[in-house]
Structure 1
């Protein structure tokens, strides 16, 4: 099971996450309390190993904005968290993760309109399009046919409930942000515990 930590904003937490075994790190380029500047993202990404996926998180961006962020920072995966159309996603020459807010099976069925390899399933929208720390009914996933799409589970995950997520069918990656924070800041102890919980549980399965 792969682990993605989203909303990192400084070198210390990014490098610490890498040492603990994280597989992907998300950088937010949208209105959010976790939004990061191009210069800060570039500085952090330049120090990360090649094997770590550097994911840029966007909400309803223009193609020009995506191209600028990629060229200036070194982002190598695009995560779209807004109302981007299947057509827009298909035009991008980068690996794309399309995020969906899930409240019912109808929300899950929307993923089949998109050609991207990865989909991210998040909780209901709150103040922001994502990163609200709200989970959804994981029971919706048990009998759903994802048709070979790779699934990233997000929304309300933390070291206490992630074991249950790992046991779900068809999940390829878990994505955490607020679940490894204390007072709105990334907490190194929580990062360590979350990654260790995922990796140790995976060994048991």
Structure 2
């Protein structure tokens, strides 16, 4: 059964709704330009409230290695997601699980995935000047050559289209932020519930 990550969580209530609905992971954003960005103290409170089966993932964009390590320790993160221009070397040597996000414009963009020795590769839509959470999708069929055992599909997923995406791509997991929100950073519990149910019954 496909796993689900609810990204851009900004408060305890939304985190608990996601957990209760069956999310395997939540994403906590530490990229200041994002409307979903959290300070470490707020993120720590969310992580402390999570049930143990839910993985807290920190999302970073071109952040200094020392700062990532500092936040990970302070917050209690269990995985790191690098969503910028991080090199394969930047993604190595961490004591936590690592997700490398790649923004997909065309098939050539997917060739980069092979260079990354990481636990998971997340495929997201390419939008100029924006690092995820855009609500835009890419041509899912481009992911056909990817290693599905470590593939997380993102980009424009909603409760309405996630089942079709799962059937086509057969990823390990799917990731959603804007597709289950009433506004940036505020999740709709019913949309979250429907998204997870539709993903897992596809």
Shorter-chain TM-score range: over 0.9
State how far apart, in whole Å, the 2-side matches of 1:26 and 1:126 are: 22
| Counterpart for residue 129 of structure 1 | 131
Q: Following TM superposition, by how much is the alpha carbon of 1:182 offset from its aligned partner in structure 2, in angstroms?
A: 1.4
Q: Is 1:4 matched with 2:26?
A: no
**1:17-59 CA deviation, whole Å, 9 max, x = no partner?**
1111110000000020000110111001011112111100000
Q: Following TM superposition, by how much is the alpha carbon of 1:60 offset from its aligned partner in structure 2, in angstroms?
A: 0.6
Segments of structure 2 that go 5 or more residues without pairing to the other structure are none
Q: Is 1:150 matched with 2:122?
A: no
- The alignment's TM-score, normalised by the length of structure 1, stands at 0.93
| Counterpart for residue 92 of structure 1 | 94
State how far apart, in whole Å, the 1-side matches of 2:41 and 2:49 are: 13
Taking the TM superposition and a 5 Å limit, the aligned residue runs for 1:62-141 are 62-141=64-143
Which runs of structure 1 show a deviation greater than 3 angstroms over 4 or more consecutive aligned residues? Answer: none
Q: Which has the higher contact order (CA 8 A, sep 6+)?
A: 2
Q: CA RMSD in A?
A: 1.3
State how far apart, in whole Å, the 2-side matches of 1:30 and 1:5 are: 16
Q: Is 1:162 matched with 2:162?
A: yes
How many residue pairs end up in the alignment?
199
- The alignment's TM-score, normalised by the length of structure 2, stands at 0.94
State how far apart, in whole Å, the 1-side matches of 2:128 and 2:55 are: 27
Q: Are the counterparts in 2 of residues 117 and 149 from structure 1 also a CA contact under 8 Å? A: no
State how far apart, in whole Å, the 2-side matches of 1:44 and 1:198 are: 24
DSSP-derived class of the 2:49 partner: coil
Q: Following TM superposition, by how much is the alpha carbon of 1:169 offset from its aligned partner in structure 2, in angstroms?
A: 3.7
State how far apart, in whole Å, the 2-side matches of 1:156 and 1:41 are: 25
Q: Are the counterparts in 2 of residues 119 and 149 from structure 1 also a CA contact under 8 Å? A: no
State how far apart, in whole Å, the 1-side matches of 2:134 and 2:77 are: 23
State how far apart, in whole Å, the 2-side matches of 1:137 and 1:95 are: 27
Does the C-alpha gap of structure 1 residues 113 and 164 become closer, same or farther in structure 2, counting only changes over 3 Å? same
Segments of structure 1 that go 5 or more residues without pairing to the other structure are none
| Counterpart for residue 39 of structure 1 | 41
